């Protein structure tokens, strides 16, 4: 029998919900492009409920315990005395979310003598040392596409929020003010702006499609160029690199995975090459942007705004400079953990577990590492020789 160690974020501060704002979710059975949504043999949860916190357990307990397996769920993941570290040595499977990642470093993987499978309940497996996983023959899988549209919606919201100066205006209203001049002194229209994405995979392309109706000029850079028909449909301008693209853009959104080619990409030099007063949105991984370079650019006016929901480390300490830098729209890492997305990534996690426990192949699009090498989606999105797992 297998031991499954699941690391999830804490329950709400006022307790696990007893009711919800909505009674149901729209039915979605496939993603853009045709990939089907998760197809487990069954589910033991109510779609639309909070599944990603400790008490939600991703809806897995009944399924696993009925099969005789052991499920351990914790939010305690930091330090050698954490519940995660205590339970890890004899765990067969580790499940984690990007929003509250259990960092599977090379040292931890070496100590996990039984570890065979690491599942990301969501998208983005850079919290796993992929080189170590390859060396120790650990399969790494994630629920590809499950929250891509969720993140894309969050990106568009953040772009509009920054450009229209929404958050400061909202604060004025809730504080009892009516300071219209203060609200509009940094407010612009998105219409007519040049908007570019670093990476145009599932999330980046979804962002471009959602921005097209705003009558903006769209740009992208990606190591895999999109088909000509897609470029023509959306009026896209392709650039061979981020360095070539960003000087043309009023808004840049980062939608790339973290790997050696993207780590530290937005440093003082690259940000300095952007238009003065450009906006930068990063819902990908924090380490793609140099923390202090972003802070400096906002304070100097080189950037007019920065928004994102990814931090290094995660959770971010109270004194993290991104909490207090000006003209920012930061959120905790929530873009891909809406209740809608949770229903999909919980179902996808179960689908992966069903396949693995039954000795059946895991969907190729879910695979990041398998059989001692990059596999499936991992072959397209990642490169090996990673440095430190991202936080």
Q: Which residues are catalytic?
A: 147, 285, 314, 333
Q: Is 89 annotated as a binding residue?
A: no
Query: Are 117 and 139 contacting, i.e. CB atoms less than 8 angstroms apart?
Result: yes
Q: Is 123 annotated as a binding residue?
A: yes
Q: Cβ atoms within 10 A of the Cβ of 46, count?
A: 13
Interatomic CA distance for residues 188 and 304, integer angstroms: 11
Omega into 315 within 30° of 0, i.e. cis?
A: yes
DSSP single-letter state for residue 288? G
Q: Is 271 annotated as a binding residue?
A: no
Q: Is 202 annotated as a binding residue?
A: yes
Q: Is 273 annotated as a binding residue?
A: no
Query: Are 140 and 130 contacting, i.e. CB atoms less than 8 angstroms apart?
Result: yes
DSSP single-letter state for residue 322? G
DSSP single-letter state for residue 104? B
Q: Which sign does the torsion angle of CA 376, 382, 387, 391 carry?
A: negative
Q: Is 283 annotated as a binding residue?
A: yes
Q: Is 261 annotated as a binding residue?
A: yes
Q: Is 53 annotated as a binding residue?
A: no
Query: Are 154 and 254 contacting, i.e. CB atoms less than 8 angstroms apart?
Result: no
Q: Is 224 annotated as a binding residue?
A: no
- State the Cα torsion 353-357-361-364 to the nearest 10°: 20
Q: Is 381 annotated as a binding residue?
A: yes
Q: Is 147 annotated as a binding residue?
A: yes
Classify residue 342 as exposed, middle or buried by CB count within 10 Å of its CB (0-12, 13-18, 19+): buried
Q: Is 119 annotated as a binding residue?
A: no
* Max CA pair span of the chain: 65
Q: Is 290 annotated as a binding residue?
A: no
Annotated binding site for substrate: 123, 147
Q: Which residues are annotated as a binding site?
A: 123, 147-148, 202-203, 222, 257-261, 283, 309, 333-336, 381
**Which amino acids are annotated as binding site for NAD(+), given as ranges?**
148, 202-203, 222, 257-261, 283, 309, 333-336, 381
């Amino acid at each position: 029998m297998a031991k499954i160690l699941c690391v999830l974020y804490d329950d709400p501060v006022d307790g696990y919900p007893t009711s919800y704002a909505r009674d149901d979710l729209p039915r979605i059975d496939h993603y853009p492009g045709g990939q089907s949504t998760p197809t487990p043999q069954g589910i033991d949860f109510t779609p639309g409920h909070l599944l990603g916190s400790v008490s939600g357990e991703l809806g897995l307990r009944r399924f696993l315990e009925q099969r005789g397996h052991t499920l351990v769920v914790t939010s305690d993941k930091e330090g050698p005395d954490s519940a995660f570290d205590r339970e890890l040595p004899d765990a067969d499977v580790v499940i984690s979310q990007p929003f509250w990642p259990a960092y599977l470093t090379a040292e931890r993987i070496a100590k996990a003598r039984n570890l065979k499978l690491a599942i990301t309940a969501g998208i983005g497996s850079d919290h796993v040392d992929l080189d170590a996983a390859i060396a120790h023959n650990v399969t790494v899988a994630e629920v590809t596409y499950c929250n891509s549209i969720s993140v894309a919606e969050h990106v568009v919201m953040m772009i509009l929020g920054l450009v229209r100066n929404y958050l400061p205006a909202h604060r004025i209203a809730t504080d009892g003010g009516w300071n219209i001049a203060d609200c509009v002194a940094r407010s612009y229209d998105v219409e007519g702006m040049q908007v570019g994405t670093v990476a145009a995979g599932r999330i980046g392309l979804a962002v471009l499609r959602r921005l097209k109706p705003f009558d903006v000029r769209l740009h992208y850079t990606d190591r895999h160029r999109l088909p000509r028909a897609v470029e023509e449909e959306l009026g896209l301008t392709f650039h061979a690199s981020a360095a070539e693209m960003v000087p043309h853009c009023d808004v840049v959104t980062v939608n790339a995975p973290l790997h050696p080619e993207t780590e530290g990409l937005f440093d003082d030099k690259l940000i300095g090459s952007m238009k003065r007063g450009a906006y930068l949105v990063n819902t990908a991984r924090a380490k793609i942007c140099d923390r202090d370079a972003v802070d400096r650019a906002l304070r100097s006016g080189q950037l007019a705004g920065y928004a994102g929901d990814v931090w290094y480390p995660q959770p971010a300490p109270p004194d993290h400079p991104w909490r207090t830098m000006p003209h920012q729209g930061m959120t905790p890492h929530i873009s891909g953990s809406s209740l809608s997305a949770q229903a999909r990534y919980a179902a996808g996690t179960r689908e992966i577990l069903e396949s693995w426990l039954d000795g059946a192949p895991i969907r190729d699009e879910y695979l990041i590492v398998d059989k001692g090498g990059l596999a499936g989606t991992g072959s397209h999105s990642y490169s090996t020789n990673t440095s430190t797992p991202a936080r």
